[in-house]
Structure formats: C-alpha cells, structure tokens
Amino acid sequence: MGEELKDKLLLKREEGWKNVDEKQNQDIMKLSEEYMTFLNNSKTERDFIKSAKKLADENGYTDIINKTELKAGDKVYFINREKSMYLAIIGENDIQENGMQIIGSHIDSPRLDLKPNPLSEEGGMAYFKTHYYGGIKKYQWTTIPLSLHGVVVKTNGEKVEISLGESEKDPIFTITDLLPHLAQEQMEKKLKDGIEGEDLKLLIGSIPANDDKAQEKVKLNILKLLNEKYGITEADFMSAELELVPAFNARSLGFDQSMVAAYGQDDKVCAYTSLSAMMSLEKVKNTAICILSDKEEIGSMGNTGMESHMFDFFISEILNKLGINKPNLLDKVFCFSKMLSSDVDAGYDPIYAAVSDNLNAGYLGRGITLNKYTGARGKSGASDANAEYVAWVRNILEKNNIKYQITELGKVDIGGGGTIAYILANKGTDVIDCGVPVLSMHSPYEVTSKYDIYSAYQTYSAFWKE
Ligand code: MN
Ligand code: MN
C-alpha cells in the first residue's frame, strides 16, 4: 500500500542514466561528439554564426532577403551583423491565429575583449590590455592558454579576420599571475580583488625591434609582425572586435565519459541543441522560430541583442512575404506565441551545496531544467511563467517521456540572474526558461552532463513538433 501510494503521489526524482538503454546511450554519446566538434569551431558569436549558417545552408535554409514570398514548409534565416541569427520554418497553421513556437538562446559567452587602444609595452614585454565581457571571476582567467578571435576593419571597409591559438601550430597567449613566494599581500585580499580588471593584460611578445632610436621596441616589433601578417596598423585596433577565449578544446569528462567540459557552454549548449533540433524538422504545424542572440551576457542591449527591434523586423518580413501583413498584426502574433527561453541553469554542486535549496536545485544527469522564474531577491526582474503555460510544457515533456526538473537559481536572497525570457514575455508571448544545468558557469571550463544535453535536444524537438 505504502509503495503504491508513493508511486502514485510523490514527484519522482531520479537519475536519467538509470533507464538509458544501449541504443539511447549511443544517441547520447553521438550527439555530444557532434556538439563538442561544433563548439571547438564556434567559440565566439561570429564563429558560431559562421558554423550555424553552414549547417542551415546544408539543410535547405535560405536567407530571407533572397525570398520574395513565403509559404508553408519554407525554411529561412536572417543574420544580423554576423553576430546573431534567427531561423524559421513556416508552419501549416495560420500564423495570425496560432502565433509561433519560438526557442531562443544566446551565443555570446563571458570572455575578455581587447580595449580600443590595446597595445602597450612594460618592462620589455608587450601586452594587449583587455576589458572583460560579462560576469567573470577574474582570477580564473590568468595562467590559462588563450586564443584570439575576431575582426579588424580598416577605414576603407576591408575586414581582416583573425583567429590565432586554436591550431596546435599556432602560438597562444596568457595572462600571468604572481608567484606564491611573493604573493603574501595578494593572498590576504578578498577573492574578488585578488586580480584587478586593469591587470588582465595579455602577454603577447618580448623581442625588441632592431632599431636603436625607437622607444618601446618590443611593441614596435609586434606592430611590424601584425602589419606583415594582417596589413594593419596600431590605429586599426580602434575599429576592431577582438576577443580572448580559452584555447583548450571541449573534452569528455570522467572515467565514465558522462560529462562535457568546455568553454562557452552558457549558452552554446542550448544554442547548439536547439539549432540541431531545428535542422531535423521538416513540416511543422505552427511556425517554428530559432533565435541565436548576442549580448545576453551584458544585458541584451544593442542592435545584436534581444532588446533590439531586429527580431521584430525578421518576423515582420515573414508576415510581409506571406502577404498577410497589416497594422498591429506583429503585436497579435507575439501575443499568440509560445517560447522556450533556452538558457543554462545553475547545476547543483555538492562542494558548494550551501548556495542551493536541494528541493529546488537542478541536478546534473536528471534532464532538462525548467525555471518558472529567475530574478533576484523577491523575484525582482523575473518573467514568472504562467501556471497554465507551465502545465502545457509539462504535458509535452511527459507524453514524450522526457525527464525534466523544475528549479530555482540558488537559495532565496543568495544571488540571482536573468535570461532573454522577459524580453519576449514583454511582447505578450508565453515564455518559460528551459535549459541544461551547468557546473562552474561563466568559468573558462564549464561542465554539463551528456544526458542533459540529449534531453535538451529531445525537449526542443518535441516543443516544435507539438
Ligand atoms: Mn546564459
Ligand atoms: Mn551567462
């Protein structure tokens, strides 16, 4: 009787791996391999968009700019300034009455950007000065190999692409730290002050130019090398976007290889799984939209972030090219739409258990996590998903046998966070956060479970097929 009641009434919380059969295990491992390969080529938003465009082109998607009209089954995308992308499959149902089914992730990750005047020389060493992007623990970014990615645009419009430090043949860069022998004072500081933002200076060279009259000979020699290789001068850094990311690759983690360790899994794990779920879709009932957004880590501002009108423009173009657009239709379509804000969640870390409410934490290996709300303190800044919508999403997961957990980001009043959920919710769309739990989030080497990566893929497929 007790067992029967328990089975009927209690919420089951169990490891996903428990019921994985041989075939499913192969699918889980295969997806993770593909994910890791994709990640290694897509560490920055510009690199991610390149990889995503290639995948979309191979799967029959067309740039919406090249289409004059659209019909059910058409697959289109729009790339916004090489840094964000929206994809769509036009649904069979009337978009005016049924809205869209949107999955939105972000492809920017915390990192170090070069300052606009980056190049300096001190004590016979040349450095690039940096400005960190997003919420990082600064001490984690010293003494690791870093690679340089991005573009330098000259005043004549010529764009020079730089990617250095990924190939074994390339040099890498690093930020030095003080030896323990002389770090007595540093070690007394608070962790957040141990490494100052201004001290995140990238070591880039040490050979002086062969010129007795020149000041800053090492800096001059670096400029000479950069000019020979890329045709750029010091002034060209003013119109550049150069990013430093960890030079190491995504790897399987653990004796059982159950996890993935990689840079930038927030939020490329959700971006990749949603993109790849979309690639396997053919016909959909309601128009399916995949958002790969930029600038989430700094508040989604700017014209490549989700706060901009670029996404509205894309949906308006769909309505125009379906030949149905009229005043206020865009607003109506948003109000009738549903969205999964696919962003990562804080995974429960037993070493730091004190920050989690273990009844409401996201555990690695127990499947996709739903966050009804995020925010801080008294849910401040949260988009709180409506119970009716949460039930609708639960129903999809349960009928497709997908393991899920509903979670909060840490204990009450411990901290907080947010995603792009509120932006679409403010347009009237039903939204819930739905992603993969991560350990060491925002660090150079984040950890996820392969089981959860697979369940994210299953969730996003099932959502669009609903
Ligand atoms: Mn995120
Ligand atoms: Mn983040």
The pLDDT of residue 14 is above 90: no
pLDDT in tens, 114-130: 999 999 999 999 999 99
Q: Rounded to the nearest whole angstrom, what is the distance from the C-alpha of residue 223 to the centroid of ligand 1? A: 36
**Structural domain contains residue 415:** yes
Length of the chain: 466
Ligand 2 centroid from CA 8, angstroms? 37
Do 285 and 328 share a domain, yes or no? yes
pTM higher than the cut 0.85: yes
Residue 154 in any domain: the answer is yes
Going from the Cα of 419 to the center of ligand 1, the distance in angstroms, rounded, reads 6
Task: Characterize the bridge pairing of strands 338-341 and 100-106.
Answer: parallel
Burial class (CB in 10 A: 0-12, 13-18, 19+), 133: middle
H or E, element range at 33? helix 22-40
Closest CA to 142 of 181, 197, 205, 218: 197
Per the structure, the complete domain to which residue 375 belongs is given by 11-109+263-465
Please give the backbone phi and psi of residue 254, each rounded to the nearest 5 degrees, phi first. 100, 155
Whether residue 255 lies inside any domain: the answer is: no
Nearest residue to 198 (alpha-carbon basis) of 280, 107, 130: 130
> Is 4 within a domain?
no
Rounded Cα–Cα distance for residues 8 and 57 (Å):
48
- Do residue 306 and residue 433 come from a single domain? yes
Same domain, 177 and 304: no
Residues 293 and 408 in one domain: yes
Do 91 and 55 have their domain in common? yes
Q: Which pLDDT value is given to residue 212?
A: 87
Residue 353 lies in a domain: yes
Phi and psi angles of residue 7, each rounded to the nearest 5 degrees, phi first: -60, -35
End-to-end, the C-alpha distance of the chain in Å comes to 37
- Structural domain count, the chain: 2
Give the model confidence (pLDDT) of 63-87 as tens digits.
Answer: 999 999 999 999 999 999 999 999 9
Distance CA 420, CA 274 (A): 15
**What single-letter amino acid sits at 122?**
E
Last-in-domain residue among 216, 246, 276: 246
SS3 232: coil
- Ligand 1 centroid–CA 142 distance in Å is 23
Q: Which ligand is nearest to the CA of 342?
A: 1
Cα separation of 31 and 88, whole Å? Answer: 22
Q: How far is the CA of 418 from the centre of ligand 1 (A)?
A: 8
Give the end of a domain, one of 195, 212, 246. Answer: 246
CB atoms within 10 A of CB 185: 8
From the CA of 325, how far away is ligand 2's center (Å)? 36
| 229 and 102 fall within a common domain | no
Q: Are residues 97 and 129 in the same domain?
A: no
Give the Å distance between the CA of 108 and the centre of ligand 2.
8
C-alpha distances (whole Å) from 439 to each of 32, 259, 265, 266, 350 are 17, 11, 10, 10, 10
Q: Is the residue at 254 inside a domain?
A: no
Q: Which ligand is nearest to the CA of 343?
A: 1
Residue 74 lies in a domain: yes
- Single-letter code of the amino acid located at 327: P
Residue 177 lies in a domain: yes
Task: Report which DSSP code applies to 248.
Answer: S
> How far apart are the CA of 267 and the centre of ligand 2, in A?
7
pLDDT tens readout for residues 338-392:
999 999 999 999 999 999 999 999 999 999 999 999 999 999 989 999 999 999 9
Question: Which ligand minimizes its atom distance to the CA of 269?
Answer: 1
- Residue 433 alpha carbon to ligand 2 centre in Å: 13
DSSP sequence for 140-175: GGSSS-EEEEEEEE-TTS-EEEEEESSSTTS--BB-
CATH number, domain with residue 228? 2.30.250.10
Ligand 1 centroid distance, CA of 438 (Å): 10
Choose one of 186, 214, 246: the last residue of a domain.
246
pLDDT range class, residue 2, cuts 50, 70, 90: confident
User: Are 130 and 53 in the same domain?
Assistant: no
Each residue's pLDDT tens digit, 298-326:
999 999 999 999 999 999 999 999 999 99
Q: Which ligand is nearest to the CA of 297?
A: 2
Percent of the chain having pLDDT more than 90?
Answer: 96
The pLDDT of 53-60, averaged and rounded, is: 98
- 188-201 pLDDT, tens digit each: 999 999 999 999 99
Q: Decide if 89 contacts 284 (C-beta within 8 A).
A: yes
Give the Å distance between the CA of 48 and the centre of ligand 1.
15
- Provide the β-strand partners of residue 324: none
- Cα–Cα dist 264/385, whole Å: 27
Residue 1 clears pLDDT 70, i.e. is over it:
no
Indicate whether 38 and 124 sit together in one domain: no
The residue type of 20 is V
SS3 45: helix
Mean pLDDT for all residues in the chain? 97
**Distance from the alpha carbon of residue 204 to the mean position of ligand 2, in angstroms:** 28
Cβ contact 261:453 at 8 Å: no
Here the CATH number for the domain that contains residue 269 is 3.40.630.10
Tokens of residue 267, six digits = 């939020």
**How many whole angstroms from 315 Cα to the centroid of ligand 1?**
23
Ligand whose nearest atom lies closest to the CA of 293: 1
Give yes or no: residues 215 and 239 share one domain: yes
In this structure, the answer to whether residues 344 and 435 fall within a common structural domain is yes
Q: Are 189 and 92 in a shared domain? A: no
CA 197, CA 102: separation in Å to the nearest integer?
A: 37
Given pLDDT bands bounded at 50, 70 and 90, which one contains residue 57? very high
